[in-house]
Structure formats: structure tokens, C-alpha cells
Amino acid sequence: MANRPDFSDAVTIHTIPARADMRYMDVPVGHPHAYRYARYLSAPNDYNQMAEVQFYSGETSLSGEVIGTEGSYEDMPDRTKHSVFDGNVLTFYSAIEPDGAWAGLAFDKPERITRIRY
């Protein structure tokens, strides 16, 4: 989470403890602050292999402009950062680089995230 588009003020609100199962995981978030930007940052040497991430404020699923690392591994057009937020569990992001790749959302206004679903 961040309020600056370059994430220089980033705050980690959740770390995935191990490779995710092939089912949705719901994580309650008790962080009290609101942020303008949210992202999923891949683990080292992982190419950001993420199918879906949803950020919630209360019961509302948040949407925004998709931001993050451009491109995809082997230039596959259906495996870009947009796949993380397309609502389709059969598509996924496969980043162009193994480290530091991310996919996120820029909200219209700062939002308090109360739950993450991935």
C-alpha cells in the first residue's frame, strides 16, 4: 500500500507465507490507514505468477486503474498485469522479469483496505 505512485512510502500489510493453494484465500486486514495505491509484489525469482487479487473496503470490492510492471514473459498478451484484476481465475500474470515485478491498482481516492482476496 502507498500514497505515492512510485511506492517510495510503501507499507506491507500482508505477506503470503507460502505458495498459495489453488483456491481463494481471504485475509482480513486491520491496518487503520487509507492508501491511494495497492499492489501485489512478487516473491524473489517468482515472475509474479498470480491469477487474481481483490482488495476490499468493507464489503465493497475496489477497482481502479491497473498499474505495475509492463510486459509479460515471452510477450504473451494474456499474461500481463491486467490478468491479476480481470476476474478470471484461468488467466494469470507471468512477468517479464523474475524479481521485483508487481501488479496493482491506482484508486480514485485513498481507500482503507479491510480484506484481501487472492
Nearest residue to 91 via CA among 48, 51, 42, 46 = 51
pLDDT at 20: 66
- Average pLDDT score, the chain: 94
Question: With 90 as the cut, is the pLDDT of residue 18 above it?
Answer: no
pLDDT at 44: 85
Which H/E stretch holds residue 54? strand 54-57
Domain membership of residue 60 (yes or no) is: yes
Question: With 70 as the cut, is the pLDDT of residue 7 above it?
Answer: yes
Domain membership of residue 5 (yes or no) is: no
Which residues have CB under 8 Å from 118's CB, separation 6+? 16, 20, 24, 25, 27, 40, 50, 52, 53, 54
**pLDDT tens across 26-77, in order?**
999 999 999 999 999 988 888 888 999 999 999 999 999 999 999 999 899 8
User: What's the domain count of the chain?
Assistant: 1
Domain of residue 55, residue span: 26-117
Domain membership of residue 11 (yes or no) is: no
Domain membership of residue 14 (yes or no) is: no
Rounded to whole angstroms, how far apart are CA atoms 16 and 42? 10
Which residues have CB under 8 Å from 104's CB, separation 6+? 37, 38, 39, 40, 66, 67, 68, 81
Rounded to whole angstroms, how far apart are CA atoms 100 and 92? 17
Going by their DSSP bridges, the two strands 35-41 and 54-57 should be labelled as unpaired
Which H/E stretch holds residue 66? strand 65-68
Domain membership of residue 12 (yes or no) is: no
